[in-house]
A and B are shown apart, each in its own frame.
Chain A
């Protein structure tokens, strides 16, 4: 009598374990938890005039390799620019202190990330340093605006031909 009773108890236990294993697998492998930096990190600050759609926990990449993540985004009241604190993994110590930080977009419509372009200084970044050279995110609207303006001049003759400069003025009623 005890044998079948025990077997369904073991089976129930296995089922519950399997369910929680599936939940743990989903939580750690398919969600943003997988992107959390594991080890210690040191913080760098960078000022941008426009961060676009950059969010907290966005990746920080050097040469395309993920080396850290955005820890916080604040507004500097004096200069009215965005101050982005980025955490770099402790294992990446050798980043020259004249490196530049720029905000890029992965793909045309993808998420935004901070890209580090290494410099040549012999002095390396330390915890709390500020990245002086920064480049704001490219705004698609600005680019389109610039393109429309430059389309009227003779700078881009083939495009201006294709678009037809005459069509631009009637397009804004």
Chain B
């Protein structure tokens, strides 16, 4: 039984990846038409971006604070606490900012996209749109996809900024590091293109991947309440895996 199932599981996974790839092309083809629904896109940016601000800002602040605390402890062993600003900024811009924001984004915005589209599917709203000659790809899916791509890098930048503020709060105000050393070392060693902008590109790619997975899972969910529940779970699981894997690949090739 087990032996007979294994190939079909691999086959299922491959079929899922293939279907998601085809879905991506369908979305890209629907984007020109979706530009007519500009308001809807704006509403989605508001929903996935602006409504995620609270969680992103809080987490950014705390990640920056704990990063400062932990790295201070580590650097103190080498007598290199002067490099705290540099190390915090580099790890935030290059790695933690894009990745943690993407994981939070998958949990906060990806799930709601999947659940919303999945419920539209389960309650036959998508079929109703097709009946009324409204393409659900260009009216429902594409605006969410664009919103994911637009909102993710902005959220990552806000996360980074709050992280730096948190690190400054702990490092300078609490641990007593010199203010000038903190900023001076940071500005001397952090490059705007190789460090900051590469992180922004990474977060843009993460936004596209999360939005693709979330809309794909919602669009292809079995039209039952159980199906929607599974689809939502799968969104979080596969987005997290794909984001971390893609992070490694992009870091290896881009930086």
Contact = CB atoms under 8 A, between A and B. Distances in A.
Contacts of B185: 110
Given A11-B46, A26-B161, A20 B82 contact: no
Interface string A1-41: 00001001101101110111011011101111111000000
Given A11-B50, A25-B161, A107 B82 contact: yes
A23 B156 CA distance: 9
Interface string B66-100: 00000000000000101000000100010000000
A109 B186 CA distance: 15
A109 B189 CA distance: 13
A111 interface: yes
Contacts of B187: 29-32, 34-35
Interface in B13-58: 39, 42-43, 45-46, 49-50, 53
Interface centre among A5, A16, A20, A35 (most CB of B within 10 A): A16
Interface string B186-226: 11111110011000100000000000000000000000000
Contacts of B158: 18-19, 22
A110 B82 contact: yes
Most-contacted residue by chain A among B50, B89, B200 (CB, 10 A): B50
A12 B188 contact: no
A32 B46 contact: no
> Which of B39, B93, B185, B187 has most A Cβ within 10 Å?
B187
B104 interface: no
Given A19-B157, A23-B157, A31-B192, A9 B42 contact: yes
B50 A31 contact: no
Contacts of A18: 53, 154, 158
A109 B80 contact: yes
Interface residues of A, number: 28
Interface string B141-160: 00000000011011101101
Contacts of A22: 154, 157-158, 160-161
B190 A30 contact: yes
Contacts of A30: 89, 164, 183, 186-187, 190, 196
A8 B43 contact: yes
Given A26-B93, A31-B190, A31-B195, A15 B161 contact: no
A141 B53 CA distance: 51
Given A22-B160, A23-B200, A30-B89, A15 B190 contact: no
Contacts of B192: 27, 31-33
B153 A19 contact: yes
Nearest to A7: B46
Interface in B77-133: 80, 82, 89, 93
A59 B158 CA distance: 30
Given A20-B157, A26-B196, A30-B89, 5 more contacts: A5-B39, A15-B154, A26-B161, A31-B195, A32-B190
Interface of A: 5, 8-9, 11-12, 14-16, 18-20, 22-23, 25-27, 29-35, 59, 107, 109-111
Closest 8 CB pairs of A and B: A19-B154, A15-B50, A22-B161, A22-B157, A31-B192, A12-B46, A34-B187, A23-B157
Interface of B: 39, 42-43, 45-46, 49-50, 53, 80, 82, 89, 93, 150-151, 153-155, 157-158, 160-161, 164, 183, 185-192, 195-196, 200
10 contacts: A5-B39, A12-B50, A16-B49, A16-B154, A26-B161, A26-B196, A32-B190, A33-B192, A110-B82, A111-B189
